[in-house]
């Protein structure tokens, strides 16, 4: 199996196009055409993570945080960062990173965090890119319909998510045509009228997947010239968002909710910015990572509390002045991505008969300790 196969499937779920501008997502080190046998999922790529990968015979590291936020200025191996790059290359390991595209994807990182808090009635927090959606209609002989449908869904002709995927619509009819030389028809003879029992398949396809879907259609369709139609769904565009806003099943005081967050995220301590620890909490906004600058959006959406990491001192004063309670559990709560990505990749591997092993890093890369 090649790296490219896993990456292509992942980018159907979280296209690079939905990442924040200038975020260095995608291939970091190595080649998309490299063979892979064992994948390790991690939050960060640090020297100890690379050693863990080597000890486990991993040839593909999939990380949330990019290994190369900034270009190397030189290749001086006395620099620990450069030495880590060299070790990755020496051991033929490919590294790919999905950062703010995974943050923004529907069903991605911020949904996983909201799942942990058991938030309901969820919506997005920070509006992201609006993605065009198209309706693709394909005509195909009945006998080939299921194979074509499954191939196009696998290629990304699928806007569904969660426990149900592969939504398509199928209707039947009769196709009439007369093939002429030099045609090489799937059914019928040159010059003779032909009719076939035919199916019309309808898909909703995001703009980012359309190129691959059309290539797959031409590869798998039995006709030399597939019959298809594409219509832009102007009133059915998809907007991705960073962060989520949702509600708790039962109202808690801020103090109770703080203890709940420590339990949910399995942390020993966190920072709280609040004027009133007894404030009732029902509506919660959350954004994994460094999201302090978006506290006004949380307030605008009537959140009772905002959860995010890396809050700066002066921003915290602004939050107090705005009377917007904020909980900072740290950046490392994003490590929830490891177990969820392993589950997602394992599901795809079973679906596609990929001969790969998938593991998660067991190393805690949180640089902070509570004393």
Residues 239-267 have pLDDT tens digits of: 789 999 999 999 999 999 999 999 999 99
Q: What is the largest CA-CA distance in the chain?
A: 85
* pLDDT tens per residue across span 167-182: 788 898 888 878 787 7
**Distance between CA atoms of residues 117 and 217, nearest Å:** 41
> What pLDDT does 164 receive?
61
**Distance between CA atoms of residues 192 and 10, nearest Å:** 46
Proportion of the chain above pLDDT 70, given as a percent: 97
> What pLDDT does 325 receive?
98
> What pLDDT does 169 receive?
87
> What pLDDT does 187 receive?
72
* pLDDT tens per residue across span 88-142: 999 999 999 999 999 999 999 999 999 999 999 999 999 988 878 899 999 999 9
**Which of 221, 146, 148, 137 is CA-nearest to residue 185?**
221
> What pLDDT does 370 receive?
84
What are the C-alpha distances in Å from 199 to residues 165, 172, 178, 188, 234? 20, 4, 18, 18, 26
Lowest mean pLDDT among 45-54, 58-67, 185-194, 235-244: 185-194
Sheet holding 38-42, edge to edge: 26-29, 94-97, 60-63, 38-42, 357-360
Which domains are seen in the chain, by residue range? 3-99+335-360 (3.40.1390.30), 109-128+241-329 (3.40.1390.30), 133-236 (3.30.70.120)
E strands within the chain?
26-29, 38-42, 60-63, 94-97, 120-131, 133-141, 169-177, 194-206, 227-232, 238-253, 271-273, 280-290, 305-309, 326-328, 357-360
Query: Which residues does 264 contact at the CB level (< 8 Å), separation at least 6?
Result: 116, 117
> What pLDDT does 237 receive?
67
Decide if pLDDT at 24 tops 60.
yes
* pLDDT tens per residue across span 65-91: 999 988 889 999 999 999 999 999 999
Decide if pLDDT at 238 tops 70.
no
Proportion of the chain above pLDDT 90, given as a percent: 77
**Distance between CA atoms of residues 201 and 139, nearest Å:** 6
Contact 138, 201 (CB under 8 A): yes
Contact 358, 349 (CB under 8 A): yes
Cis peptide before 288 (omega within 30 of 0): no
Query: Which residues does 104 contact at the CB level (< 8 Å), separation at least 6?
Result: 14, 18, 19, 20, 110, 128, 129, 240, 241, 242
> What pLDDT does 231 receive?
93
Q: Which two tokens stand for residue 93?
A: 């390991």
Q: What's the pLDDT band for 48 if we cut at 50, 70, 90?
A: very high
Averaged confidence pLDDT in the chain: 93
**Which of 30, 37, 33 is CA-nearest to residue 90?**
30
Mean pLDDT of 280-292: 97
């Amino acid at each position: 199996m090649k790296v490219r196969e896993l990456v292509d499937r992942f980018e159907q779920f979280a296209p690079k196009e939905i990442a924040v501008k200038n975020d260095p997502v995608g291939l970091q080190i190595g080649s998309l055409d490299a063979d892979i046998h064992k994948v390790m999922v991690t939050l960060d790529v640090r020297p100890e993570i690379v050693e863990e990968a080597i000890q486990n015979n991993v040839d593909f590291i999939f990380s949330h945080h990019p290994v190369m936020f900034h270009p190397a200025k030189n290749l001086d191996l006395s620099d620990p960062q450069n030495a880590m790059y060299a070790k990755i290359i020496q051991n033929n390991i490919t590294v790919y990173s999905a950062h703010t595209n995974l943050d923004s994807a529907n069903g991605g990182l911020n949904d996983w965090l909201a799942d942990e808090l058991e938030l309901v009635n969820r919506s997005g927090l920070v509006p992201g890119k609006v993605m065009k959606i198209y309706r693709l209609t394909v005509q195909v002989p009945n006998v080939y319909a299921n194979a074509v449908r499954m191939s196009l869904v696998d290629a990304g002709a699928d806007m569904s998510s969660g426990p149900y995927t592969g939504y398509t619509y199928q209707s039947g009819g009769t196709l009439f045509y007369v093939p002429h030389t030099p045609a090489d028809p799937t059914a019928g003879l040159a010059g003779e009228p032909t009719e076939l029992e035919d199916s019309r398949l309808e898909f909703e396809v995001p703009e980012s997947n359309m190129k691959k879907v059309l290539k797959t259609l031409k590869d798998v369709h039995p006709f030399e010239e597939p019959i298809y139609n594409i219509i832009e769904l102007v009133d059915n565009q998809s907007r991705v968002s960073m962060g989520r806003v949702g509600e708790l099943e039962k109202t808690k005081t801020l103090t109770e909710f703080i203890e709940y967050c420590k339990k949910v995220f399995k942390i020993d301590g966190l920072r709280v910015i609040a004027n009133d620890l007894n404030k009732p909490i029902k509506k919660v906004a959350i954004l994994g990572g460094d999201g302090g600058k978006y506290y006004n959006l949380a307030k605008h959406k009537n959140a009772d509390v905002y959860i995010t990491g890396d809050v700066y001192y002066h921003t915290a004063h602004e939050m107090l002045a705005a009377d917007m309670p904020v909980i900072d559990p740290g950046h490392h709560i994003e490590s929830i991505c490891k177990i969820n990505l392993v589950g997602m990749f394992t599901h795809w591997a079973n679906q596609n008969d990929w001969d790969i092993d998938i593991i998660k890093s067991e190393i805690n890369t949180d640089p902070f300790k509570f004393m």
